[in-house]
Amino acid sequence: MTHASDPRLDDEKAPVIKRRYCVANALLLGFGALALTGCVVPQPRGGGLLSRVVEPTRQRGYWRYLPKGYSDAGESNGKRWPLVVSFHGMKPFDNARPQALEWQQEADRYGFIVVAPELRSPDVLSEFPVRSLHPEFVTDMTATMAILDHVFATTEADSSNVLATSWSSGGYMAHYALNTHPERFTCLVVRQSNFSASVLDAGAAVQSQYHPVLILNTQNDFKICREESAQAVQWYERLGYKNVAWVHIKNHGHERTPDIAASFFAQVAGAQPQSAPAVLVKRQAIAGNEDGLDFFSGKKSTFQRPPQPLTPRVATARSNRAVTPSRPPAGALARKPDYSRTQATMVSRPPTPERAPAIPALPALRERVNIIVSNLIGIQPLHVSFRADCPRNWLESADFLWELDGAVIANGANGHKTLNDPGNHLLSLLVVTSDGETHRAQRTLTVYASSVFQSAAAQSAAGQ
């Protein structure tokens, strides 16, 4: 009672209370649009089983989705299913259940089990932006590790293929998960997410340097998400991560994009889609690094792996000493040769009065616009991803027009198309720069009828 009536204590509390009130109101105003846009789950429901489960040791709930075709009765014949761990955004605008809902269609497409832990730290009244390892944040990670143990004990989830992913402020936890538990996660995809270096251990980064990382943003996302995502890219690149990709998607705002994360994880886990990615084909990248744009166009399918252990001792013929082979310079494995700058090599010969010195041939000029395509040849139906290989600043300023056999199919820097008709198809690109320059490129795509290969397979089987 004395404390409640002491005016000095009221004066001391007032600034703190006022700051919390202002922060809460600012968050409510700044994220209020999520109630009408971001928190909505537009993705269709799947054909599998969604259920809420409580992990017994920590009594923490989580939402689990078993994809279509999965059998809880142990009839999987030893098959293991890649696992998606999705960290939800700020409550009350997001929670674990919408994360499980948004992933259902992609889980069915690629055969993923999905888990969404119920977190306590991402809350409108909690610390934001996150700059400290407060108790709820640490407890959430402890509970997540217990949930993973429970999932592996009760399902056919593959512990060697686990994706850490997030949306919005769930990014704080997703980055922290890879940083502190690299042995539990295979890769990381953060979607329009937040980032804080303050909660990460830079010294532990070496343990996850080869983990694939995708940092995804949209053109009209919240400013803080764009800024902190840029900070994330800088952090991973500064610490020498080998497989960091980032992409900015055209037009979209703070919206759910599990389809892009699913496609990236499928490449890492080697999962094949059971149906065409209908949503992914509508996405357009307007910026990104080389790895990000290659992934988005379907070109990138491999990732750098840790180097093999060096042979500790190599005997020499001259002495009994052992020589340890030297390790290539740091970053040498990550650098790619730039063949476009290689000049023609000529045999030098002394000039004579009768003959002038030979002039080295100049390398052929590289076209300013080329087409990079995922598959030039395939069996129907052939799903093709393509992108314009052009100066980076054109991605936002130039106009792009794609045609397939004369019909317009896309108008961004990249796109996707499924070809069902056998035969040769001409993929054409027209680029008009902001100053009116026009550039064109073409590629021929070949599609074979599936019946031809089925017949050949049947004849081969009959011959055996």
* Per-residue model confidence as pLDDT tens digits over 234-255: 999 999 999 999 999 988 888 8
Q: How far is CA 174 from CA 122, 190, 211, in A?
A: 12, 7, 13
Mean pLDDT of the chain: 78
pLDDT higher than 80, residue 267: yes
Range in 311-320, 370-379, 423-432 the model is least confident about: 311-320
Locate tokens 């259920």: which residue? 51
Q: Who wins on pLDDT, 140 or 5?
A: 140
Q: How high is the pLDDT of residue 327?
A: 39
Q: How high is the pLDDT of residue 312?
A: 40
pLDDT higher than 90, residue 223: yes
Angstrom distance (rounded) from CA 177 to CA 186: 11
Q: How high is the pLDDT of residue 161?
A: 96
Q: How high is the pLDDT of residue 155?
A: 94
Q: Which CATH class is domain 370-453?
A: mainly beta
Fold of 37-297: Rossmann fold (3.40.50)
Domain ranges (residues) in the chain: 1-30, 37-297, 370-453
Largest CA distance in the chain: 110
* Residues in contact with 135: Cβ distance below 8 Å, sequence separation at least 6, in sequence order: none
| 144 neighbors 165 (Cβ within 8 angstroms) | no
Please count the CA atoms within 13 angstroms of the CA of 244 that sit on its side-chain side.
Answer: 20
Tens digits of residue pLDDT in 39-95: 678 888 989 999 999 999 999 999 999 999 886 544 456 789 999 999 999 999 999
The answer to pTM > 0.85 is no
